Structure 1
Amino acid sequence: MQTNKKHTTPLGIIEGFFGREWHWEDRKNYAEFLAQHHYQFYIYAPKSDKHLRMQWQQDWPVESKEKLIALRNTYGDAGIKFGVGLSPHEIYLDNARDQRQHLKRRIQQLNDLQPDILCILFDDMRGDIPGLAEIQIDIAHEAAALSSAKRIIFCPTYYSFDPVLEKVFGKMPTDYWQTFARQLDSNIDMFWTGEKVCSPSYTREHLLQVEELIGRKPFLWDNYPVNDGAVKSNLLQLRAFDQSHSQLDGKLSGHAVNPMNQAWLSKIPLASLPLAYQQAQNYCAQNAFHVVCEQLCGVELAQLLTQDVPALQERGLKNLDQHERLILRERYSQFLRNPFAQEIIDWLDGVYTFDPACLTE
């Protein structure tokens, strides 16, 4: 396959899902994987880290912070930019001086990690508040001024046209997105997930519409292959990225992929995204799946996965009866030393349970 086209869009991953988080060893191993597959950044932002969300005002315990500093160094050694995502939970409901002092102190603590990227994330929070955009912009500007990170990415409360966001978080204030176009520093990027929270594809027309709306090229938060939602937690999303991803270069300020709870299995679709950018019109998702599957998993396991993708990604765990689960378990038990197979066995055994804190799908 042709893989010689250079692209300009920075590619990376954001560990930004609900539910069971990755092991530290998996996070460290991803530095080499991302470097090998021409990704440029990793952002640490698991929803289960209370020190980034519900208890964002508090620094991590010493042991956890030491692990994060070591992780940052691992990525730096691999030539991968390291980021962190802070979600100052509903700080705008109490925009008092004390809260701003908490924010200042927390940003200074995050500077200890020497992040290349700082994300200020207001997703999964109530939004039906007058003047919301202006308050969030002020917070983003303050965080940017305090941070040592060279790149700041902001996530609004409403980050898609998907009506589920207003259903869950309240009616979006008038001119919410237009206010960012007028007032948010043009050097600050903005996350966007597409027409839906979990968009299967992205059209040129949609991305141009969003660019005009928010006053900058969107920084794509790609919710494939993430599987933390009520429906998708029953699926293993293994297939290569959709054909539309081969036409995204030049239309985005960056592309961050939100992977699955399964760190190893996520590598299969993740390895296909750089191919889509490199091969452009020559990209074939089906071919990419077969190639990366064999490269990552070995020929025998790749053959099994190819046969079982309909059961794993389309039917899902809830629609497999006990007999079917046992058959699948026996098939993958042949590869017990293989971490890809082990994650499938754990999934079949119900290890990855749905986290009801995930309100969007």
Structure 2
Amino acid sequence: MNEGNPEIELERTPKKAVIPASGLLVFESHHAPGFSGQAKDTSSKFHLVIAGHSRWEGGGRRYFLGPDTLIHIPAGQAYSQADLPNDPVTVYGVHYRTELLSAALSSQLTALGMLSIDLGSANVNQARVVRSIFQEMLFEQGAGQEGWEMMLQSRLIDLAVRTLRLARRRGRNDLPAFEPGNDSTERVARYALRLKSRFFRQETIEEASKAVGLGRRQFTDLFRKVTGQSWRRYVLGLRLNHAAGLLAETERSVVAVAFESGFDDLSYFNHSFKTAYGCSPLAYREQRQVRLPVKSAASSKPVGDGEPSAGFKLRGIKGWFWTAEQYLEEIPFLPCLKMNFLMDCYGSMISSQSVLQPGKTGSNEWWKPMTEDRKEAYARIICACQDNDIKFCFALHPQLGSPRPLNPDRAEDVEQFYQHYAWAQSQGVQWFSICVDDTGWGVGGPAASGLGHARLVNTVLARLRDRDKTAQFTFCPVICWGDATNPEHRDYLEVLAREMHPEVYVFWNGDSIVTPRITRVAAESYRQVVKHRLFLWDNYPVNDGSPTLHLGPVSGRETDLHEVIDGYLSNPMHTQNQINRIPLATCADYASNPREYNPARSIGQAILRLAKTSEQQRVIKDLVETYPGFIVAGGGTGTNPVRAKFGNLVAVRDSRSSAQTFIHHLENILTRLATQFPKQFLSTRKTITEDISWMKKQIGSKK
């Protein structure tokens, strides 16, 4: 049964299990159509069929197995099995050494020979109870928490005893025990805490109430008081969270993930998951797991000769407080991605000490001439763009971080501001920009602010065109996001529509400043008010200088945005410009041909472009999956998915081992990254090192 994951390995014959040192192995097996074969193992085993039908034969007896059939095969028992045509089996199993059970229990099971029990007919509760045992064993083995081997052995004993009793028709459904306590609220709180590692149990609310010695009504009231949620919603949330982790970190089928997470109904699981996460389980996995392609290829369908452009006319990137060296390092990479546009970061262009960087001091002294060193550095950047057929856009911000914000009505201010544009034009620059984002209206309000901004843009553009009629201009307004339906936003944008030169492009961030989804509806609404051509300033994968990485593919941008927007500009990470090439490649892929863009395909090709050997590709793949980006992981530009995941791990009871394992995983990535790329990704390695140190400190504080 394989509809959950078309790429999962299917078994065609029984395989011999390799028992670990603990003496017990829990596993899942997905059979291919036509599965059949014979087996004889030195270990004993339990199998629980969860889907499909199969015929077994052993010890002179024949068995017909279907869903919820439990079968026990003693060590040394030879048997054969064959799945029904077109109805392959999905089965969970436990292989164990007989010495894990007491001699008496083991001998009694062995005496029964090969044993099959239809749990569905044995007792109304037995099927779900036995499924819970397998689910708990799978969870414990996968989590590797303290004492997990003992937990597996105890559940094995439970399973063996229950099987023996069922075989003798003495079915019984034991309710979970709970430690006594006088305070009802305390008992419910402890129960809620315990649920975090027992959510997969098939337990009714009546059983939960009885387990803490309360009536249903009192239990539900206290549970909501303790957790802020109903019992059903709380359990569902735990199950869905566990399922999300399995989908992101394992190759288990959707059927298996649902089963292990406590869901008996696959359709209910799919519906609940999509409601909670906004996508199907398979789509969720595709967003978080990188599949490396066999060979490099064009990520999107190329545009043929004579065909109209399939994407945005202008496709590029801006810096984020990048140094001149960072720009020069990335410019040669842009043509490889079919990008044709680069805008400087206005903050670092004229700030005396890059004031706008986190933790830095200084000021935006826009009125002062640029130093000769800065002119020389940016002259090299401009020349490099010209050599690579990249349009360089010279951008400044006259207000942000400045002790003396520019006054558009003051001629001296405008003249001092214009001197920088005149210098850039003298270097052959033809694209220019003024940005006033991240500022307010001023005392005059939206309309007055819009009028002042329009006049400033018009004045600078007119003077540039006096020298070069082909000069182009972009403007990033105060309101550079949304659909322009807010009355104040509309007042400001309508003035720009009337007063600003009609050939000026307007930067727009999307439905909001930082957003997982950008829609055509919002773009059309905004453009209808501002009445200028739009240039999408996509705030991905920018981290705003925060200690985090956003490496997953861009997604959530509608496929027809290029029909209403002329340009696409990706906003990058701060110091990590080298690893930024991974998400940037997906942004370029989208911008080149939005309709054919596939995030999963694009990220695989991006890795192959950057990493040449299989070892390099695997470590970059692991790095991307660990830092998938805020579009996938949630949060914003400063969200760190590694620290968020670690926080979730340590919040769960008895999860110290899982947290340590996660730290080791990150240390392994760091070591491999340094080995495979000894001279690259230094700032990326610094970020990972800081995350490892932070996690170790958190664990140390909890000792």
1:125-274 → structure 2 map (5 Å cutoff): 125-130=439-444, 131-147=448-464, 148=468, 150-161=471-482, 172=488, 175-228=491-544, 233-242=546-555, 244=557, 246-261=559-574, 262-274=576-588
Which one-letter code corresponds to 1:267 in the other structure? R
State the distance in 1 between where 2:416 and 2:626 align: 48
State the distance in 1 between where 2:489 and 2:607 align: 45
Q: Is the 8 A contact 2:511 2:523 kept in 1?
A: no
Q: Is the 8 A contact 1:180 1:214 kept in 2?
A: yes
Provide closer, same or farther for how the CA distance between residues 78 and 137 of structure 1 changes in structure 2, counting only shifts above 3 A: same
1:1-361 → structure 2 map (5 Å cutoff): 1=298, 2-5=300-303, 6-7=309-310, 8-15=312-319, 17=320, 21-51=321-351, 54-89=364-399, 91=405, 93=407, 95-130=409-444, 131-147=448-464, 148=468, 150-161=471-482, 172=488, 175-228=491-544, 233-242=546-555, 244=557, 246-261=559-574, 262-298=576-612, 299-313=614-628, 314=633, 316-319=641-644, 320=646, 323-324=663-664, 325-340=666-681, 342-350=682-690
State the distance in 1 between where 2:580 and 2:615 align: 19
Provide closer, same or farther for how the CA distance between residues 280 and 255 of structure 1 changes in structure 2, counting only shifts above 3 A: closer
- Deviation per CA, 1:184-205: give whole Å up to 9, x if none: 1111111110111112222121
Q: Is the 8 A contact 1:40 1:81 kept in 2?
A: yes
Figure out how many residues of one structure are paired with residues of the other and give that number: 337
Structure 1 stretch 25-34 or stretch 212-221: which is displaced more?
25-34
Percent identical pairs in the alignment equals 20
- Deviation per CA, 1:141-162: give whole Å up to 9, x if none: 1111122571100111121139
Provide closer, same or farther for how the CA distance between residues 274 and 110 of structure 1 changes in structure 2, counting only shifts above 3 A: closer
1:237, distance to aligned residue in structure 2 (A): 1.2
Which one-letter code corresponds to 2:505 in the other structure? D
Question: Secondary structure in 1 aligned to 2:618?
Answer: helix
Q: Is the 8 A contact 2:482 2:526 kept in 1?
A: no
1:43, distance to aligned residue in structure 2 (A): 0.9
Provide closer, same or farther for how the CA distance between residues 239 and 245 of structure 1 changes in structure 2, counting only shifts above 3 A: farther
Question: Secondary structure in 2 aligned to 1:287?
Answer: helix
Provide closer, same or farther for how the CA distance between residues 161 and 245 of structure 1 changes in structure 2, counting only shifts above 3 A: closer
Alignment RMSD, CA only?
2.8
Q: Is the 8 A contact 1:217 1:252 kept in 2?
A: yes
1:9, distance to aligned residue in structure 2 (A): 2.1
Question: Higher Cα Rg: structure 1 or 2?
Answer: 2
Q: Provide TM-score, normalisation by structure 1.
A: 0.83
1:96, distance to aligned residue in structure 2 (A): 2.4
State the partner residue of 2:70: none
State the distance in 2 between where 1:137 and 1:76 align: 30
Provide closer, same or farther for how the CA distance between residues 24 and 302 of structure 1 changes in structure 2, counting only shifts above 3 A: same
Structure 1 stretch 2-11 or stretch 81-90: which is displaced more?
2-11
State the distance in 2 between where 1:249 and 1:101 align: 36
State the distance in 2 between where 1:256 and 1:283 align: 17
Structure 1 stretch 81-90 or stretch 319-328: which is displaced more?
319-328
State the distance in 2 between where 1:173 and 1:272 align: 32
Provide closer, same or farther for how the CA distance between residues 98 and 244 of structure 1 changes in structure 2, counting only shifts above 3 A: closer
Which one-letter code corresponds to 2:371 in the other structure? P
State the distance in 2 between where 1:178 and 1:194 align: 18
Question: Secondary structure in 2 aligned to 1:180?
Answer: helix
RCO comparison, higher one (Cα < 8 Å, 6+)? 1
Provide closer, same or farther for how the CA distance between residues 203 and 162 of structure 1 changes in structure 2, counting only shifts above 3 A: closer
State the distance in 2 between where 1:279 and 1:108 align: 36
State the distance in 2 between where 1:107 and 1:116 align: 10
Q: Is the 8 A contact 2:346 2:397 kept in 1?
A: no
State the distance in 1 between where 2:344 and 2:377 align: 12
Provide closer, same or farther for how the CA distance between residues 136 and 272 of structure 1 changes in structure 2, counting only shifts above 3 A: same
Q: Is the 8 A contact 1:118 1:151 kept in 2?
A: yes
1:287, distance to aligned residue in structure 2 (A): 1.1
State the distance in 1 between where 2:408 and 2:556 align: 44
1:68, distance to aligned residue in structure 2 (A): 0.8
Provide closer, same or farther for how the CA distance between residues 162 and 207 of structure 1 changes in structure 2, counting only shifts above 3 A: closer
Q: Is the 8 A contact 2:340 2:390 kept in 1?
A: yes
State the distance in 2 between where 1:125 and 1:73 align: 32
Which one-letter code corresponds to 1:41 in the other structure? F
State the distance in 2 between where 1:126 and 1:249 align: 29
Q: Is the 8 A contact 1:128 1:172 kept in 2?
A: no
Provide closer, same or farther for how the CA distance between residues 197 and 93 of structure 1 changes in structure 2, counting only shifts above 3 A: same
State the distance in 1 between where 2:371 and 2:349 align: 12
1:55, distance to aligned residue in structure 2 (A): 0.6
State the distance in 2 between where 1:188 and 1:268 align: 31
